[in-house]
């Protein structure tokens, strides 16, 4: 049986600043040396609706798309069970992800955020709250993280910082493009 080329791609960045949290992600899906899709939506709303009628949690994923959507569905189920408790829902998902025979094989990472907390979730059971409210994952994650941290003290808001960080990652990472999806939530707390 022939080996198939690895799927690569994605940069996701999250910035929390001045009472607002933003998650941005690029749209490129690459298989080997070929761009399979330039406009995939890797950032979305999750969970029960908030005051704006949209999901009260935002999330972005890096990794296998089907795996990520499975994890998003599982997280939404946990959010229904623990409404308004993103950290608890994420910890419960991480436990399942690490111990369940099926979920253990899923290859993805996620950044999720609500009005209070931003978390990075991995298949090894990690539920990490990033330093300074800035996190990034994926092939261009380190570029986006460095750019967002450098811009954190600027006058720009979380969305502008996220867009600039994604633009820098797209210039440096061949698996990241400039077709960005952005979701934001007001947290109600000014920093």
* pLDDT above 50 (res 7): no
Instruction: Show the tokens assigned to 130.
Output: 């990033």
Q: Does 190 reside within a domain?
A: no
Is 183 domain-assigned? no
Using CA atoms, how far apart are residues 152 and 41, in angstroms rounded to an integer? 25
Evaluate whether residue 34 is within a structural domain: yes
pTM of the entire predicted model? 0.90
Residue 74 in domain: yes
DSSP characters over 147-162: HHHHHTTSS--HHHHH
Half-sphere exposure for 91 (CA within 13 Å, toward CB):
6
Are 58 and 113 in contact, with CB atoms under 8 Å apart? yes
The reply to whether 189 falls in a domain is no
In which domain, by residue range, is 25 found?
Answer: 7-175
pLDDT surpasses 60 at 5: no
- pLDDT for 1 beyond 50: no
Higher pLDDT: 74 or 12? It is: 12
Burial of 5 per CB tally in 10 Å (0-12, 13-18, 19+):
exposed
Domain presence at residue 1: no
Please name every residue paired with 35 in a beta bridge, in sequence order, or none if there are none. Answer: 30
**Tokens 């003290």 sit on residue:** 153
3 state DSSP class of 44? strand
Residue 70 has pLDDT above 60, yes or no: yes
How far is 68 from 58, CA to CA, in rounded Å? 14
**C-alpha Rg value of the chain to the nearest Å:** 16
Q: Which of 23, 17, 16 is nearest to 41 (CA)?
A: 23
Of 2, 56, 55, 11, nearest in space to 32 by CA = 2
Catalytic residue among 10, 22, 30, 181: 10
pLDDT tens digits along 139-182: 999 999 999 999 999 999 999 999 999 999 999 999 899 999 99
The CATH number assigned to the domain holding 158 equals 3.60.20.10
Whether 55 has a pLDDT exceeding 90, the answer reads no
pLDDT, mean over the chain:
87
The number of domains in the chain is 1
Q: Is the pLDDT of residue 40 over 60?
A: yes
pLDDT digits (tens, 9 = 90+) for 80-110: 999 889 999 999 998 887 777 666 666 778 9
Assigned domain for 115 exists: yes
Annotated active-site residue 70? The verdict is: no
Residue 43: beta bridge partners? 60
Q: Which residue has the higher pLDDT, 116 or 52?
A: 116
User: 107 lies in a domain?
Assistant: yes
Distance CA 18, CA 41 (A): 26
């Amino acid at each position: 049986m022939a080996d198939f080329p690895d799927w690569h791609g994605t940069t996701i960045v999250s910035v929390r600043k001045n009472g607002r949290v933003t998650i941005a992600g690029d749209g490129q899906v690459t298989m080997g040396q070929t761009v399979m899709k330039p406009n995939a939506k890797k950032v979305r709303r999750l969970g029960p609706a908030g005051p704006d009628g949209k999901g009260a949690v935002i999330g972005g994923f890096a990794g296998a798309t089907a795996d990520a959507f499975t994890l998003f569905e599982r997280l939404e189920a946990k959010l229904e069970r623990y409404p308004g408790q993103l950290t608890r829902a994420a910890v419960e998902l991480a436990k399942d992800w690490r111990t369940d025979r099926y979920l253990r094989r899923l290859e993805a990472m996620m950044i999720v955020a609500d009005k209070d907390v931003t978390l990075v979730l991995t298949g090894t059971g990690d539920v990490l709250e990033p330093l300074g409210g800035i996190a990034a994952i994926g092939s261009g994650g380190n570029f986006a993280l460095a750019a967002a941290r450098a811009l954190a003290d600027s006058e720009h808001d979380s969305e502008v910082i996220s867009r600039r960080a994604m633009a820098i990652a797209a210039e440096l990472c061949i698996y990241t493009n400039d077709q960005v999806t952005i979701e934001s939530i007001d947290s109600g707390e000014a920093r």
